A and B are shown apart, each in its own frame.
Chain A
Amino acid sequence: MPTMQINVGPIHPSTHGVLKLVVDVDGDTVKRVEPHIGFLHRGVEKLVETRMYMQSPSYMEKLDYVAPLSWDELFVSAVEKATKIEVKERAQYARMVLLEFQRIASHLLWLGTFCNDMGQMFTAFMWAFRDRARVIKFLEDVSGSRMFYVNLRLGGLDRELPPGFKEEGLELADYIYDKIHDYRRLLEDDPIFIERTRNVGILKLEDAIELGVSGPVLRASGMKEDVRASEPYYFYNKIHFKVPTQTRADSLARYRVRMEEIVESVRIIKHALNMMPEKGDVKGLPIKLLGPNANPDPITISRELPRGEGMIYMVPDKQKPYRLSMRSPAFANLQALSKLCEGVKFADIFTILGSLDIVLAEIDR
C-alpha cells in the first residue's frame, strides 16, 4: 500500500495552541510525523528588549498560559539576580506556595485535556476543571486576577497576603490530596485508559537525554532530575520532597509521574505554609525604583517549570534587557514527538502528543 500524507491541524487537540502535524501513514501505521510550528510567533524576545524590566512580566506570563506564574517568576528572578536584590523570607515562602499551586493547576488542566484527547469523555475533564477552579480562585484571592497574575515584584510580591492565606492554603492542599485518589480510581481502574497508554510512546533514557527533554517526560524515562532538588532555589533545600520517577517510559508512566508530582506539590505547600513566618513584610520594591543599577554581566538562571526546565539568558542594561534568550522546555519535549510516533497507530499520536504536555505559545514565542 502506498504511503499517504495527512495534514492534521493547524489546531491543537487540547487547545493549548496551534500546531500542524504532517503525518505519513501506511494504512493505519504511522511512518513519520513532522510537526509544523510557528503559528503563534509574535516575537516576545524582541518585544521584551523594548520594555522596562517590570513591564515585561506580563509578556512572560503569556508564554505559558497554562502556568503563567512560573515564567513570570523565572523572569523576575533573573532581574533579581542581575540587580542583586534579596527576596524577603516570608515572600520566598509565599512564592513557593504560589508556584506549587500553579504547578497543580497546570497538571490538573493537563489531566483533563489528556483524557479528553483519548476519548475518556468529559468525566475527567469536568472533575479536573472543578478542582482547578478552586486553585485558580485561591491564586485570584492572592493576586487579584484570574489568569495572568503579574503579582511579583523585585524582592517580594506586589501586596500583602490576604488574611487566612495559611488556613485556606492548607485546606485547599488537603482537598487536592483527597481528590487525587478519585482520579486514580477513575483512570487506573479503567481498562481502556490503561490499554491506550501502556507501552504507547516509549522514550528510552538515552534517547531522552539525546533529545534534551526535561521535566516529567525525562523523569518518566527514569532519570531523577529536578531543578528544585539538584540546584535548589528559595527554601526547597529545607523541605523534604520526593522526585518521582518511573522506569516504563511510556505514556502511562508520564501520567503517573504527573500525578505523583501533584502529591509532592501538596507536601511542599503544607511544609512551606507551616514554616512561613507569621509576621513580616512581603512587599517588593515599587515599580518606579526598578532597574537603574543592574549589573551588566550576562546571567543565566533556570527553574523547574511544570513542563520541565526553563532557562533565561539575559544581558542586562540600565532600564531594560539588552538581550533576552529563553530555553523553553516544551520545545525540547516536542522534538521527541517524531521519534515516539514511528510505527504507532494513527490514534496513538494524540495520546503521545497529550502525554508530552506542550504549550505552543512557549514554543513559538
Chain B
Amino acid sequence: MEPPQYSEKDFLNAEQEMSLIARRAAQKYKVETNAMFAKLSDVTRAMSKGMVKWGQRNSVWPMQFGLACCAMELMDFGASRIDAERKGYLLFRGTPRQCDVMIVAGWVTKSMVPRIKRLYEQMASPKYVIAYGECATSGGPWWQSYNIVQGIDQVIPVDVYVVGCPPKPENLFAALMKLQDKIGGKIAGNPERSIAENIRK
C-alpha cells in the first residue's frame, strides 16, 4: 500500500482556512472582487453561508453533565492524558445556554428524564446530543430494571452513539469528530476528505 501523499493544502491553520472559505464563497455567490462595486447584502450572504458552519464546527462546546460511571471517563477526556482542549472541544460549561452538545454519560432514570428534557430545551439551537456508553444508548446492563429508560433516544434526538461500558475517552474524541463532520460536511483544505479521516492520517 502506498503512503498517502500530502499537499500543503491538507494542513491549514484557522486563518488560512477562513480565507479559503471566504474566497470560495465569493466565487460561488459572484461577489465583485472590487469592494466598491460589491453589494453589502451579497457580501454578508456569502460570508454567512461559508462562515457559520465553519464556526459551529470548530467550537463544539460540551455541557458539563455527568450522570454516572461514564462521567469518570468524561473527566479523563478533559484531563491531562487526552486534553480535549487542544482540538477546540473547550472546557465543559456549567450552563446549558452556552453549550452546543450535550453528552449524556450514564444511565437515565425515570426521575431524571424531565430534567434532561428541560436542560435540552434550554440549550440554544443548533444543538446536538451524544449518547455516551451503553446505558445512554440502550439501557445497558440495567435494561431489565424497573426505573431505567432504555436509551436516551426515547426522550431527545441523538446524533452520535458511542458504545462501550464505559467507552474510552478516545472514543469520545472520535465521536466529536464524527459530529463535526455531521455539522459542517467536509474540511476546507481538502474538500474530499472528512475531518475524522484527516485527523487519523
Contacts and interface: CB of A to CB of B under 8 A. Distances in A.
A50 interface: yes
B148 A147 contact: no
A327 B90 CA distance: 39
Interface string A121-162: 000011101100100000000000011100000000000000
Interface in B65-91: 65-69, 71-76, 79-81
B174 interface: no
Contact of A361 (B64, B69, B145, B146): B69
A47 B109 CA distance: 15
B156 to A, nearest CB: 17
A11 B106 CA distance: 13
Interface string B37-81: 000000000000000000000000000111111011111100111
Given A17-B68, A58-B141, 10 more contacts: A11-B66, A15-B66, A40-B109, A41-B147, A42-B107, A42-B147, A47-B142, A66-B72, A113-B75, A127-B80
Q: How large is the interface on A (under 10, 10 to 19, 20 to 34, 35 or more residues)?
A: 20 to 34
A42 B142 contact: yes
Contacts of B79: 112, 125-126, 129-130, 133
17 contacts: A15-B74, A16-B71, A18-B112, A39-B109, A42-B107, A42-B147, A50-B144, A62-B69, A65-B68, A109-B75, A129-B80, A130-B79, A133-B76, A147-B72, A147-B73, A148-B69, A148-B166
B115 interface: yes
Interface of B: 64-69, 71-76, 79-81, 106-107, 109, 111-112, 115, 141-142, 144-148, 165-166, 168
Contacts of B165: 148
Interface of A: 10-12, 15-18, 38-43, 46-47, 50, 58-59, 62, 65-66, 109, 112-113, 125-127, 129-130, 133, 146-148, 361
B119 to A, nearest CB: 10
Given A41-B109, A42-B109, A109 B148 contact: no
B142 to A, nearest CB: 5
